[in-house]
Amino acid sequence: MDLEDNRAEGWKYLNKQYFGDGERANYVNIPHVIAMVGLPARGKTYISKKLSRYLNWIGINTRVFNLGEYRRHATSAYTSHEFFRADNKEAMAIRQQCALDALHDVCEWLVKGGEVAVFDATNSTRERRRMIRDIVVHKMGFKLFFVESICDDPRIIEQNIMEVKVSSPDYTNIQNTDNVLNDFLLRIEHYKEKYEPLEENLESDYSFMKIYDTGEKVVVHKHEGHIQSRIVYYLMNIHIVPRTIYLTRQYAGALAGYIETQAIPGLRVWTSWMRRAIQTVKDVKAPQERWKALNEIDAALNEIDAVSATCPFSSRFFLELVDATTDRQGRHSWRRRKALNEIDAVSAPCPFSSRFFLELVDATTDRHSWRRRKALNEIDAALNEIDAVSAPCPFSSRFFLELVDATTDRQGRHSWRRRKALNEIDAVSAPCPFSSRFFLELVDATTDRHSWRRRKALNEIDAVSAHVPVLIPFLLRARGCDNRPSRTSFKALNEIDAVSATCPFSSRFS
């Protein structure tokens, strides 16, 4: 596959050369490669898998590429630590080829729609990291973030080896665990000869985080944008100490009595904020915490996320929107209606309308259970609809109905909103998500001195840009200057960056 030719149009033009010192790209929908760094048995695979599970859960399509698997597939030459000697030229060539093959697969997967690829290898030399950067950033235009795990506590390393390496496919021929331990420790010694930890002075352009001693200390360097911020936050909060989690429901009296007999040291009780959940644990003698995230509504939201994989917005996004646009008296503001209209316009591939999410939120936070049942019935109905409207039309009839409702005025006339929405639908169904009208406005806005026009155009950009990988290139092409942006377009782009820096959605949404 020729990756160059298959890259999305925007990616081809994204290049750090457009950004001066101190400026950062903040485009949230550019594919990311997360490259692990560290000596063997430092928890890289553990972190990769956990991170991947988390990102997938929050709606970011993530996959791990483990280089050990590529190596085992390429050769059965591994008989001992000798394979990893720094002077083993033959093995070195195999390892290099495996890394190239894996990176090729990483890029291919991202080009086909993947969002975050975790490259799980040691990547323990600057030369290797430079190679990754050349391919991932310079050739492909993706974002790259290194995550290094550093741990020099021999007890933890030995424990890690005993826990996971003795059962590694590398050691199917060695039964004795002491022999495995010794071999693996020697493997680590070979790596140490060449190991170059990430160094902010020597790799000053790189975005990375370093995790010391299973999270005792964390260093973050030049992280960019929303996805990397979430990764940093998440990895700062994971832990590797095993813990027991008891799940329970109802039977309050019996539960409290039972827990007391168990005398569990360090017990903490978590519940949602739902009234019955709180009642259930009220007699349990242990510190208690309430989590909104455990409210029953989450169960429904997870279900929605599962079926609406193509929707650019996660259900949690809608919830946040609802929170942000509810006034102190619990009333929906006009901002919400406006935001929802815009969301509907860009989230056509999603089988659920934003209004549906709103109803669900209302219904499932309501104490009256018939409303909840109604919402669940609607999920069923929507699922049936998905089956019914298949390939020929990407939009559900419900979507069109709502569009018609929302854009018909009191006299039954079609409003300008409908025309606008239809234009946007055309735009999202074409390979390029922007209509020609959108480009025109953008050009006007970035050259016009009147700030209300610029604001208007930027609002529109905000509305659609959550769904679009790269904006700058389109702007540059629309203005007929492929090489360097002018000062005015730079200014507008900075404004866009400013509003989308920490959040994939516009400032209005957050």
User: Sign of the C-alpha dihedral, residues 17, 20, 21, 24?
Assistant: negative
Among 56, 88, 177, 214, binds ligand ATP (CB under 6 A): 214
Closest CA to 24 of 228, 210, 233, 230: 228
Among 121, 180, 235, 463, binds ligand F6P (CB under 6 A): 121
Largest distance between two CA atoms of the chain: 84
Asked if 358 touches ligand ATP (CB under 6 A), the answer is no
Q: Find which of ligand ATP, ligand F6P, none residue 174 binds, CB within 5 to 8 Å per kind.
A: none
Among 74, 164, 264, 299, binds ligand ATP (CB under 6 A): 164
Total of residues contacting ligand F6P (CB under 6 A): 9
Q: 410: how many CB neighbours lie within 10 A of its CB?
A: 5
Q: Find which of ligand ATP, ligand F6P, none residue 67 binds, CB within 5 to 8 Å per kind.
A: ligand F6P
List the x/- string, 67-106, binding to ligand ATP by CB under 6 A: -x--------------------------------------
Residue 33: φ, ψ to 5°:
-115, 125
Cα separation, 3 vs 347, in Å, equals 28
Total of residues contacting ligand ATP (CB under 6 A): 20
DSSP secondary-structure letter at 16? G
Cα separation, 63 vs 32, in Å, equals 11
Among 10, 38, 40, 469, binds ligand F6P (CB under 6 A): 40
Please choose, out of 23-31, 103-111, 120-128, 406-414, the segment that lies near ligand F6P by the rule CB under 6 A.
120-128
| Alpha carbon distances (Å) from 114 to 33, 63, 70, 109 | 10, 8, 19, 6
Asked if 68 touches ligand F6P (CB under 6 A), the answer is yes
Q: CB–CB of 218/212 below 8 Å?
A: yes
> Which residue's Cβ lies closest to ligand F6P?
68
What DSSP letter does each residue of 359-378 carry, written as one string? HHHHHHHSS-HHHHHHHHHH
> Which residue's Cβ lies closest to ligand ATP?
43
Q: Find which of ligand F6P, ligand ATP, none residue 43 binds, CB within 5 to 8 Å per kind.
A: ligand ATP
Range 322-351, binding ligand ATP (CB under 6 A): none
Closest CA to 384 of 345, 351, 347, 362: 351
Binding positions for ligand ATP, rule: CB under 6 A = 38, 40-47, 68, 122, 149, 151, 156, 160, 163-164, 211, 214, 240
